Chains A and B, each alone.
Chain A
Amino acid sequence: MQDDPVIRVVSKILIPTIMLFGLYVQFHGDFGPGGGFQAGVIFASAFLLNAIVFGMNKGRHVWSPAFVLQCIALGVLIYGGTGVAGMVLSGNFLDYNVLLTDPVAGQHMGILLIEFGVGLTVASVMVGLFFAFASRPAHNRLLAQDDVRQEKAQKTKPNATAKTKGASK
């Protein structure tokens, strides 16, 4: 799909817009519809669009698979850590009232933190699943063409391929 100028230009405009909307849904979830789950999915769809239009290798370059794996765990850790922080500050598990001196402000703080954890986990899970499926050798032609072409181009410069291979392992 890389050769189509319409798709390239439109996705270049759309990708930042989608990410901005994802952040809006993430941090505006307290006031309107939305929250971590929806925001994570919307945020991930920007990366998915990038990988579909510009090829899997470019997609991996933006959010590397190792970092995707770390983010999956990090989101759960942020959520659980917020809960444990409540216990450390002599409350119950996931009790946000004790996070700050004012209980209502503490609730705001806690909700913001755990929604961020949810969003991070969901976004990186979606990106990771897509990478995992799309990185396999394709049975159909659907997603394969761009990558095959890129790999052919990369064979002309073996230095770069060797370097990335060493870094990813």
Chain B
Amino acid sequence: MNFFVVDSLLMALLTIIAIMAVRQQRLLGVIILSGSYSLIAATWFVVLDAVDVAFTEAAVGAGVSTVLALATLSQVPDQEKKRPIEPLPLLVAVGAGLLLLLAVVDMPSFEDPTAPVHTHVAPHYITLSGSEIGVPNIVTSVLSSYRGFDTFGEVVVVFTAAISVLIVLAGWTRKRKSKDRA
């Protein structure tokens, strides 16, 4: 019951911040709001006992991506253009949202021990990772040993994405001259 109160409070905060971010016209405000959204999402992950995910969300979502967005803001105008609401995109967004809500009904309830995700390989990890890997943090042993190939793929994705962004923004390795491109 206690968790229900905390969950509802955090969900309400997330909804309020999301609505504020949509309505905000100044991009600096949107960046700050999205940073606080990530921070509250991280708090919620802690409530759900997913500390590793919460850690990532706080470091990446609230920390670095806010700074990167601020750096991007130095390249673009700091005010959003006001546009009328277009009906077709609104319809698509609302329709997709409703379909996703419909899918949520079919999902197994939270902490259900008979859910498929808890009956496939999870028991093996929980019971045997201590003797097979010997690392106290099961998340780490799954991430880097049992699922090492997936994590390798993730690192390669980060590598590829970074290389493509750096190619698009080429010229940054040279020292900037003061007036020539401004």
Contacts and interface: CB of A to CB of B under 8 A. Distances in A.
A binds B: yes
Interface of A: 25, 29-38, 41-42, 44-45, 48, 52, 56-57, 60, 65-66, 69, 72-73, 75-76, 79-80, 83, 93-94, 96, 103-104, 107-108, 110-111, 114-115, 117-118, 121-122, 125-126, 128-140, 142-144, 147-148, 151-152, 155, 161, 164-165, 168-169
A103 B169 CA distance: 45
Contacts of A94: 148-149, 152
Contact of A130 (B67, B139, B151, B159): B67
Contacts of A148: 178
B144 interface: yes
30 contacts: A30-B140, A31-B136, A32-B136, A33-B51, A33-B55, A35-B52, A36-B144, A37-B56, A48-B67, A72-B162, A73-B159, A79-B155, A96-B145, A103-B132, A104-B133, A107-B135, A110-B144, A117-B155, A129-B68, A130-B67, A132-B165, A133-B72, A133-B74, A133-B169, A134-B71, A135-B172, A136-B74, A136-B169, A138-B74, A139-B76
A163 B181 CA distance: 21
Interface of B: 51-52, 54-56, 59-60, 63-64, 67-68, 70-78, 131-137, 139-141, 143-145, 148-149, 151-152, 155-156, 158-159, 162-163, 165-166, 169, 171-178, 181-182
Contacts of A131: 172
B55 A129 contact: no
A38 B55 contact: yes
Contact of A83 (B67, B148, B159, B181): B148
A119 B163 CA distance: 17
Contact of B135 (A65, A73, A108): A108
B144 A76 contact: no
A151 B178 contact: yes
A15 to B, nearest CB: 14
Main secondary structure on B side of the interface with A = helix
A155 B93 CA distance: 54
Most buried by B among A73, A121, A169: A121
Given A37-B56, A48-B67, A65 B78 contact: no
B178 A111 contact: no
A125 B159 contact: yes
A115 B140 CA distance: 9
Given A115-B144, A142-B74, A151-B178, A65 B172 contact: yes
B75 A69 contact: no
B156 A76 contact: yes
Contact of A164 (B156, B158, B175): B175
Given A41-B64, A137-B182, A132 B169 contact: yes
A115 to B, nearest CB: 6
B59 A38 contact: yes
Contacts of B54: 33
